[in-house]
Amino acid sequence: MNIDRYILGTAALGGVYGPVDPGTSVRTILQALEKGIPAVDTAPAYGDAEIFLGKALKEWSGSKPSVSTKVGRLRSYASHEGLYDFSSETMERSVGESLTLLGLPKLDVLFLHDPWAIPPGELDMVIDQMQLFRQKGYTDRIGVGGNPPSTLRPYIDRRVFDVVMEFGRLTAICQDALTDSIPKYASLGIQSYMASPLQLGLLGRRFDEFTVATPSWLDPVFVRRATAVQAVASSYGLTLSSLAHRYVFFAPVDIKVVIGPSKPDELGESIKDILSGPLPKEVIEQIRLISENEC
């Protein structure tokens, strides 16, 4: 089991998808570290996630995990509520607050959160500030957090960023990253993080909800594909979430995978899926055909 491939995401643990119990969130983080997951990703925008992670790190006596957080998107308790401030002063204050909450002198990765929200004309200033964070020793590496807009391509091509985190672009119902971003970033020496292997819950606990009443932000094509993939999972005696996890977990590419449990039981399911190994080749082929045909 290559546990180094996995990163614990903390959005659900912080309360952006609904109320959480602080003790349960802290316990989930500690259990992930106990299982050997070597990295944790968080953000100010993930509700109380930085607070919970800071408490967990204070309790943790094992090897220090790699920790990443983000800057630019402000604290919120609703995943759909985007509050942003990309001014240099606010960004610097935000990073300082994150380090304090986490109890760390330095970050392993600092991501620019949702760069598509940067106001026109301010991008160069924001990029300069990100590089300054690295130069000043706030972080070892800087990254793009959120699927990068076209305006960031020149900076990515110039290797300004060390890491790019995408979400929902390598899943059992979307394989776009396999043919575009992952090979491109690899050629540039940029590390790829792939988040949301359950496609924002569509391939997990929110399948019934999203198939009955599809949210406006969710492409109906993905709902059709998810329904077809669910049928494949059932035919092999698998849960939809297990199939979806294992498809991404064992994709034959050099990536890190960000998992997002909301409680210990869900973390346990993810660990079980890691231990279960790759999907049968015929299942992977059926997934590929579904994405090709359900357009």
Give me the residue label for tokens 């204070």.
Answer: 58
Task: With beta carbons less than 8 A apart as the criterion, state whether 160 and 133 touch.
Answer: no
Spatial CA neighbour of 24 closest among 271, 257, 274, 261: 261
Q: Give me the residues paired with residue 111 across strands.
A: 70, 143
Q: How far apart are CA 157 and CA 159, in angstroms?
A: 5
- Cβ burial of 292 (10 Å; 0-12, 13-18, 19+) is exposed
Find all residues with CB under 8 Å of 166, minimum gap 6, and list them.
146, 147, 148, 177, 181, 192, 193, 194, 195
Q: What is the pLDDT of residue 197?
A: 98
The percent of the chain in helix, strand and coil, each rounded to the nearest 5, is: 45, 15, 35
**Residue in the structure block whose two tokens are 């050997």:** 36
What pLDDT is recorded for position 81?
86
Q: Tokens in use for 263?
A: 């409680």
∠195-42-88 over CA atoms, to 5°?
A: 110
**Could you read off the pLDDT tens digit of each residue along the chain, which spans 295 residues?**
679 999 999 999 999 999 999 999 999 999 999 999 999 999 999 999 999 999 999 999 999 999 999 999 999 998 788 999 999 999 999 999 999 999 999 999 999 999 999 998 999 999 999 999 999 999 999 999 989 999 999 999 999 999 999 999 999 999 999 999 999 999 999 999 999 999 999 999 999 999 999 999 999 999 999 999 999 999 999 999 999 999 999 999 999 999 999 999 999 999 999 999 999 999 999 999 999 987 6
* Structure letter (DSSP) for residue 120: T
Map out the domains of the chain with their CATH numbers: 3-167 (3.20.20.100)
